[in-house]
Structure 1
Amino acid sequence: MKPLSLQGHTRALTRVRINNDGDLLFTASKDHSPTVWFLENGERIGTYEGHTGVIWDIDVSWDTRHLVSSSGDPSVRVWDVETGKQLNYIKVPTVGRSVSLSYSGNQLAFTTIKVALNPPSLCIADIRDPSHMAGDNIDIQLDSAGANCCAFSHMDDTVVIGTTGGVLQQFDLRNPSDAINFSVAHSSTINDLQVSRDEGLLVSSSNDRTAKLHDARDLTLLKTYKSGRPVNSSAISPTHPYIAVGGGEEAMTVTQTAASAGQFETKLFHAVYENEFAYFKGHFGPVNTLAYAPNGKVIVTGSEDGYVRIQELDKEYFDYDPDY
């Protein structure tokens, strides 16, 4: 496995995304500037300037026209990918914690956290509608357990959120008043949700040291992957029955020990048999975010150490036989 290490951020990574064509990599961190790179060689193309706070999440549309970002400044912004120009701006009452674009790229979902008297919420906006972008959007108030992550689970119809209480909730945007599906998936905070390329499966990552695979239609639990340390992010291979899992102990708990004690490596599990069959190292902090390239041949990881690593997968990875 041949890694390429990128240093373009001054603080910890919060999200890496790869566009649908597989040629561009988008990264966000706790500094103020989402960044775009060429995935093939790691060349930095540019940044999107305008935020004044932590960037918690980003997403890119299927046609790579729009990039959306959620921040602690607090706002959610829509950018033109090619020019870097800010197209729209939603002022939110509290921190914009996560963001997701629908299949068409027209619907935008984002979550906010509880601050003072402002409850946590899930908001839905149509980026084509000026009134929605001005704040007149669908606002679903959540209970005291706010959501750190959200993802469109089917086309433009349904959104899934993962709460700090370990619960998955699915909302139908045609009737968003109540959750249509509900699952107590984890015993601790859910940090990340990622949907498979065909929108059939959903993988959740949690501080309870597991990643879990669910049916994206009704949140039925299918498989559990035990990592042995807090899981910050997981991704489903688009080409093979594999799950990539990243995380690690918090830096403060391993400060005076070897990096290996923090288990900062990215682990690979067989999706069906739930066994770990490979891992790769490189980061010296917890892996906060990871993503598969659309061709399934590259995994990108972003860490608390401020580095992005592009990991090209070797032939042995594709030839793996679980031997059952």
Structure 2
Amino acid sequence: MRPILLQGHERSLTQIKFNPEGDLLFSCSKDHVINVWFAHNGERLGTYDGHNGTVWSIDVDSQSRFMISGSADNTLRLWSIQDGKCLYKWEFPTAVKRVAFSEDDEQIVCVTEQRMGYQGAIRVFNINRDGDGTDQPKEPTSFFNPIGSKAVVCAFAQTPNLIITGHESGKIALFDAKTGDEVLNNERAHMDVVTDLQLSTDRSYFITSSKDKTARIHDTRTLMVIKTFTTETPLNSAALAPLKPYVLLGGGQDAMSVTTTSLRQGKFETRFWHKIFEEEVGRVKGHFGPVNTIAVSPRGDCYASGGEDGFVRVHHFDESYFRAKPYGDLEIED
């Protein structure tokens, strides 16, 4: 798999995201810029300029019409994907760490940082999809502060009006988006901060990664841990490969302790694990620093990783990947 190296950021990557068709790849970074690329050849299509702080998180709606971004400049922004215009801007007292669209694109959720006397908060906004998208409600439809450990990642669950959150303590919880009540939680989902949360295509299960060196697959309804993948390095990101029983994990020691270890020791690889058997099946090297974010194309034909080194690497899977029989001779029907 010869990677395509995308050089469009000057600082470390914070999140990368494919659009639902899998033909566009969005990347955001600490250099305040959001880029969009063609996934098949790595050509840069454009940039979304406007933030003046680290862009922590981005998400794209199911029609590839709108994108949302959350940044350290304390704003949440709505963008037109087609022409790169910022359509609307919400301002908060603290940084926006994570953003996500609901399945029907009607709502967005964002997590804001706990800082300077402000509690960490979760806000849900309705999105007005009529017209050009510039007419948006200023106030959130719901706003609540999770009690206890602060939320760091979030997403809409498969049941309407439920939000999944991952917390600094390693807890995973389900909140009612309307009332802000905690419906269910798993306090011991991880032993350390949850660094990433990605849903399966049908949202019936999701994978989380954590600094406790594990990634886990959970059932969305019960929050039960279904599978655990244990590594020897803190993980920053975990993704599910569609159409194949693989999970992709990325991480590495933080940049502070990297200088004291060799590249081999730093474990800066993307690691493939078998989703069912919980066994590692392969590694892909390449980054010169921790892998901060991983995304797999919804088509299942390629994946991308973004590193602390400021590069995005896009790998298109070889023929052998599609020919491999991960279940032995058993044929799995979609």
The alignment's TM-score, normalised by the length of structure 1, stands at 0.96
- Counterpart mapping for 1:91-110 below 5 A: 91-110=91-110
Q: Output the CA distance in 2 between the equivalents of 1:317 and 1:85.
A: 39
Find runs of 4+ consecutive structure 1 residues off by over 6 angstroms: 129-132
Residue 315 of structure 1 aligns with an amino acid whose one-letter code is E
Tell me how far apart the structure 2 counterparts of residues 136 and 99 of structure 1 sit (CA, whole Å): 14
Q: Which moved more, 1:155-164 or 1:207-216?
A: 155-164
Q: Where does residue 180 of structure 1 map in the other structure? A: 183
Q: Are the equivalent residues in 2 in contact too, given 1:107–1:127 (CA < 8 A)?
A: yes
Pairwise mapping of residues 16-27 of structure 1 onto structure 2 (< 5 A)?
Answer: 16-27=16-27
- Spell out the pairing of 1:271-286 with structure 2 (5 A cutoff): 271-286=275-290
The residue that corresponds to 1:321 in the other structure is 326
2:173 paired with 1:165: no
The alignment yields a C-alpha RMSD, in angstroms, of: 1.7
* DSSP 3-state at the match of 2:157: strand
Q: Is the 8 A contact 1:203 1:235 kept in 2?
A: yes
| Alignment-derived partner of residue 78 in structure 2 | 78
In the alignment, the residues of structure 2 paired with residue 223 and residue 288 of structure 1 have an alpha-carbon distance, to the nearest angstrom, of 22
Tell me what 1:44 maps to.
44
Q: Which amino acid aligns with 2:273?
A: F
Give 1:67 deviation, angstroms: 0.4
1:288 is matched with: 292
Instruction: Show the 5 A alignment for 1:174-213.
Output: 175-184=178-187, 185-213=189-217
Contact 1:119 1:144 in 2 (8 A): no
Give the deviation of 1:243 after TM superposition.
0.5
Does the CA-based 8 Å contact 1:90-1:133 persist in structure 2? no
- SS for the counterpart of 1:240 is coil
The share of aligned pairs that are identical, in percent, is 38
TM-fit CA distance, 1:312? 1.3
Aligned pairs for 1:124-143 (under 5 A) are: 124-128=124-128, 133-143=137-147
Q: Say if 1:90 and 1:134, in contact at 8 Å, map to a contact too.
A: yes
- Map 1:252-271; keep pairs closer than 5 Å: 252-271=256-275
SS in 2 for 1:2: coil
Structure 2 residue identity aligned to 1:176: T
Distance apart, 1:36 and its partner CA = 0.5
Unmatched runs of 5 consecutive residues or more in structure 2: 330-334
Mapped to 1, the partners of 2:216 and 2:169 lie a distance apart of 15
2:87 aligned with 1:87: yes
Which residue in 2 is equivalent to 1:118? Answer: 118
Structure 2: distance between partners of 1:259 and 1:143: 40
CA contact (8 A) 1:111 1:122 kept: yes
CA distance in 2, matches of 1:152, 1:75: 20
Deviation at 1:144, TM superposition (A): 4.4
Partner letter of residue 26 of structure 1? F
CA contact (8 A) 2:123 2:140 kept: no
Q: Partners in 1 of 2:220 and 2:140 — Cα distance?
A: 29
1:70-123 alpha-carbon deviations (Å, 9 max, x no partner): 001010000000011111111011110100001111200000111121100111
1:114-172 alpha-carbon deviations (Å, 9 max, x no partner)? 11211001110002299974234311112242222111121643211101110001123
Does the Cα contact within 8 Å between 2:305 and 2:313 map onto a contact in 1? yes
- Contact 1:60/1:68 (CA < 8 Å) preserved in 2? yes
> Match of 1:55?
55
Q: How many residues align?
A: 323
Partner of 1:217: 221
Q: Distance in 1 between matches of 2:199 and 2:57?
A: 16
Aligned partners of 1:144 and 1:116: how far apart in 2?
Answer: 17
Moved more, 257-266 or 152-161: 152-161
Which 5+ residue runs of structure 1 have no aligned equivalent? none
**Are the counterparts in 2 of residues 91 and 135 from structure 1 also a CA contact under 8 Å?**
no
Partner of residue 8, structure 2: 8
Deviation at 1:31, TM superposition (A): 1.1
